[in-house]
Amino acid sequence: MLKHRLLMSALLIPATIGLFVWDHGLGEKAPILFVLIMILSARATWELVTLARAAGLRPSLMLSLAGTWAMIILGWAPHVEQSWGNWYRDNAVGIGLLLFGAIAVWLTLNSVLRFPRCAAVVESQDVSMKPPVVHGREIATLAFELFIVVYLGVFLAITTQLRWVWNDYFALGALVVAAKTGDIGAYTFGRLIGGPKMTPKLSPGKTWAGGVGHLVTAALCSIAWMSWLGPLINEHWTARHVIFAGAFGITVGFAGLIGDLAESLIKRDVGVKDAPALLPGFGGLLDLLDSLLLAGPVAYAMWGLCR
């Protein structure tokens, strides 16, 4: 497992840096990043739908993906066409309106298309038939579809705004450094030290030592990124912001840790150990994105305070 993780990290990190450099050279519309995010969100949506179906729910892959993509496109719109930015400020109003529209559409589809079929089955069902129809499944399905749109669509729409904080990849790179090096630190400290389990029922492999290692590693690597590489990448950033760099690493690292636990909660609740595998040693794509999904909006908020 560790060999696979190290090998895939050695391949993924240079590839990601190469994509960032390529995309930066193409201008602030960020077309390469856009295509990458759309592909990743499609795969992650499929994984969540697969997990939900394992629990007996029936989420629509097409509706969930359409809602997720709509959120991401809305977040990109002002950066593609500047005049669109006048329609909403910092994308918050637009994302809120589209989310409202998504809820209205889902309620309509469930009311008009799904529930009548479900109700007909219940009315015609012989009481002696086993197992009985489970009431509330349609509402749970609706809730899970909306969860996908928020968890992937809204969170990614906010996270990708880091690309334009300084109009380069400095802020987005800081997120990746804090969240993913924190994951490596947690895994390393947990394996070397061990000790009491953090959440034995939810994630048996996580220890308190690993949690501390996650925060320490995220803080140190954030300081290294912002103090050594920052001034080289971004002319507006100086190495003296070491206090912010440390606070950024701890805060974003903590959010990433919670994001990792949140994904474990989803898998445990549906009774599945792992999401559909994508890469050896990593499991599904959700296992790669889980820490970034929750840490991204937190990082964006912290950069708003810094600026």
pLDDT of residue 10: 55
Give the DSSP per-residue string, 57-75: ----HHHHHHHHHHHHHHH
pLDDT of residue 267: 86
Place of tokens 């995220």: 218
Reported pTM: 0.83
Do 288 and 263 contact (CB within 8 A), yes or no?
Answer: no
Domain boundaries, the chain: 1-27+167-307, 29-162
pLDDT of residue 37: 95
Burial string for 32-63 (b: 16+ CB within 10 Å, else e) reads: bbbebbbebbbebbbbbbbbbeeeebebbbeb
Give dist(CA 134, CA 113) in Å, integer: 18
pLDDT of residue 202: 79
Q: Which contacts qualify for 64-67: CB closer than 8 Å, 24 or more apart?
A: 64/145, 64/148, 64/149, 65/41, 67/102, 67/106, 67/145, 67/146, 67/148, 67/149, 67/153
What are the backbone angles phi and psi of residue 207, rounded to the nearest 5°? -115, 165
- pLDDT digits (tens), the chain, 307 positions: 555 555 565 566 677 777 888 888 888 888 999 999 999 999 999 999 999 988 888 888 988 998 899 889 888 888 876 655 555 555 555 666 666 766 777 667 665 565 545 444 444 444 444 444 455 677 788 889 889 988 999 899 989 999 988 778 888 988 998 998 888 888 888 888 878 888 887 777 888 888 999 999 999 999 988 888 777 777 767 665 788 889 999 999 999 999 988 888 888 888 777 777 776 656 788 888 888 999 999 999 888 877 6
Do 4 and 38 contact (CB within 8 A), yes or no?
Answer: no
